Amino acid sequence: MKTHSLFFLKSYNIVMVLAALAVLLLHGCGAPPDNRRAAFILIDISGDYASELQQARTLSNYLLANLNSGDSLAIAFIDNSSFTERNVIAQATFDHRPSVASQQKRLFQSQVDGFLDKFRVPSHHSDITGGILLASDYLHEMEAGQKHLFILSDLHEDLPPWLDREVKANLDSVHVVAVNVKRQRGDNNNPREYQERLAGWQQRVEEGGGHWMLVNDMARLERAWQ
Amino acid sequence: MLTNIFYVWSDSPALSLAIWLVICITLLYAGRPHGHQLLRSTGRAIYTSLRLASASIRQLEERVKERNRDVLLAMGREASEKAVEREFHRINAIVERDLSQYPSLHRKLADTLQKIQDDYHEASGEVLLPPAWSEVMDTIASLPTSGDPAVVKILENIQDAVENSHQQSFKAYQKNANERHKILNSMQPEWRTLNSTMSKVQNMLTGLEERSKIIDRHMADYESLRKAEDKAVNSLTASSLTQFFIASLVLVIAAFGGIINFHLIALPMSEMVGGASYIGSVRTSDVAALVIIMMEITMGLFLLEALQITRLFPVIGSLDDKMRKRIAIAAFTILVIFASIEASLAYMRDLLALDREALAQSLAGATVAEAQFRWIPSIGQLVLGFILPFALAFVGIPLESFVHSLRTVLGLLLLGFLRTLRVLIRTTGGMANHLSKMLVSFYDLLIMIPLSIERAVKWHRENSTQNARLEASELDAEDESAPVGPKKRKATSRRSRTVDDVADDLPFNVQEA
């Protein structure tokens, strides 16, 4: 009789433990958050900013080191007309296998290095809006949980006369990070111009549904990425 | 608002305060019986209800104590039965191993004894004793010769003949003695064989005797458990707590081993199940690694169960030996497969880590350095990946001890909790009771002025009554010489009760008040 009661108690304990585990499992099986990330880098190759292209290499390497399997990364340059496929230097969605993802990262790095090494002539104009539109399309197409747009530019838009860029970019839930916004000679004479330029872009981004952030120091990129 | 109410009687704060004090004290004095009743009944109600709760907790505590005792005794009985069963198995093994040879041993012993007996009989035949010949020779030599040469010659011849016969018989005696010595010498190895055989038998019997003593001890313990003696229960409790702490320690060590194992296979697992998929907020590769570790532990449990080292699953324990053997082989095979998978994954992890490190160096712009002796950690991880599953498979042994002792420990904790709760409840009830008494006293302190007046009035009234009675009694004494002692005593006693009432009386209801 005692043995039976002991067996019953033991079975009861095991059942209780299993029930607790099941509850924990069910609790953990809620709607899974989308942990995939997508990043797009825009490099301004116009005029004075062309000398800052090494920053693009640093930024792309930083992102390659931080992105994992399932994440997406693309890099494009801003020139006279940026809303075209030819502006895209490299793009990749990393494979779910880490070993394959590493190979993709190497390929991506070599493509960026190849572009930067071959670059010689800066563009006359800078179509930043076209680049943002291109990035917006790419980021929304990826359907990632987190979307980041890094703009390496002085944010001085100089559109050619034939381009119409009166289009509102859809930057819904996109974190737009302006990196290394170089001050121009005119900004030194009138700092208000620089501030107004930054405020104008922030307004445009926020009107498009995005979040604006300025990171002039590359060492603080981690804050933007988090 | 409150200020307005305060100054409703007068603009002077002191006067207002005095008026309010008078009103309050009057109201409190008027409501004294009800106030006392409220405070005391509340205190008593709290005290009684908490006392009731404490009594019910005490009952629960007794039940838990009884249940703990039952569980402990049942566990102890089970352990004793197992120990006795094990000792009987050992005795069976001894009997099968040693005493199964006893017939041949006995035959050998009997043969040796027979041979020794035969040799003894051979050595114990009739022996020619030479000393008699010397006596004959002496007798012949002492015979008188009387100088007759013929007699002398005859005697000499007889002496020679006797001497010859003596020599021959002595030689025969020597030969015979030598043969007997040889026989006795040949008996020596037989004696040794006999001695060693007897030693073997003694050893067997000594082993059995020791086992029987151990069984006696276990049976004494079992008897003590059956009688549910306190000594046995205390011993079991201490043993259970020791088991709990030891098992917990080993389980913590096993948990660390599991964590290391997890980190060894989690990264390469993403090569198999993907590194981008999630179950909830956890990576699928992490879940897969955990599942593999859990499966290894489960296989280890089944293996130990099938080998009857642990008894967590009665279903496996109740299977016949053949089926258990099959389960053990299956569990061991699966365990080996898992260990091989883990070893390959661990090696793959090393390769992936190497690749990742090279990529990180390349992205950082550094030249990729060629690491020397890189094969040592690779082999180390490979071996670790193969060994850890087997190490984790043994977690069933401490787990069983933990599960068994956990029931006792939980029971003791519950008992301790109930005891603490009971003490707290009793203390709270007592405090509530005393607090109500204190509040009653404080209530009286607030209205001490009207109470003093009341006391003075009562005292004055009683004095006048007493004086009137005294006067009346004196008149009666004068008239009738009647005794006044008892009346005086009665008056005194009534007065003293009045004082007590004022000092200590805590009325329970309006009538009493």
pTM over 0.80: no
| Phi-psi category of residue A213: left, alpha or beta, with phi > 0 → left and psi -120 to 50 → alpha | beta
CB contact under 8 A, B71 and A3: no
Count of CB atoms within 10 A of residue B314's CB?
Answer: 13
CB contacts under 8 A, B 247-266 vs A, are none
3-state secondary structure B106-132: HHHHHHHHHHHHHHHHHHCCCCCCCHH
Give the closest of B267, B281, B314 to A32, CB-based. Answer: B281
- Among candidate residues B71, B87, B83, the one with its CA nearest the CA of residue B228: B71
Nearest CA in chain A to B312: A10
Query: Which of B240, B312, B350, B362 would you mutate first to test chain A, the one with the most A CBs within 10 A?
Result: B362
Nearest CB neighbour to A102, from listed B71, B74, B359: B359
Of the candidates A10, A28, A105, which has its C-beta nearest B282's C-beta? Answer: A28
ipTM at complex level: 0.72
B66 touches chain A (CB under 8 A): no
Question: In the beta sheet, which residues pair with residue A42?
Answer: A76, A151
CB of A101 within 8 Å of any CB in chain B? Answer: yes
Inter-chain residue contact B407 with A29, CB threshold 8 Å? no
Rounded Cα gap, residues B383 and B223, in angstroms: 50
B89 CA: distance to closest CA in chain A (Å): 22
Per-residue pLDDT of chain B (513 residues; tens, 9 = 90+): 778 888 888 888 889 899 999 999 999 999 999 999 999 999 999 999 999 999 999 999 999 999 888 888 888 888 888 888 888 888 888 777 777 777 777 788 888 888 887 777 776 655 555 556 667 777 777 777 667 788 788 888 887 888 888 788 888 888 888 887 887 787 778 778 888 878 877 777 777 788 888 888 888 888 887 887 778 788 888 888 999 999 999 999 999 999 999 999 988 888 888 877 888 888 888 999 999 999 999 999 999 999 988 888 888 888 888 999 999 999 999 999 999 999 999 998 888 888 888 888 888 877 766 667 778 888 898 999 999 999 999 999 999 999 988 988 999 999 999 999 999 999 999 999 999 999 999 999 999 999 999 999 999 999 999 999 888 888 887 776 655 444 444 444 444 444 444 444 444 444 443
Instruction: Establish if A204 touches chain B: CB-CB under 8 angstroms.
Output: no
**Interface residue A65 vs chain B (CB under 8 A):** yes
DSSP B37: H
Q: Do A28 and B70 touch (CB under 8 A)?
A: no
Task: Tell me the chain B residues in contact with residue A17 when contact means C-beta distances shorter than 8 Å.
Answer: none
Contact criterion met (CB < 8 Å) for A105 and B359 = yes
DSSP one-letter string for B318-379: TS-HHHHHHHHHHHHHHHHHHHHHHHHHHHHHHHHHHHHHHHHHHHTTPPPP--TTTHHHHH
Of the candidates B73, B363, B403, the beta carbon closest to that of A61 is on B363
Q: Which residues of B touch A9 (CB under 8 A)?
A: 71, 407
Lookup: tokens for A9 = 């108690």
* A13 shares contact with chain B (CB less than 8 Å): yes
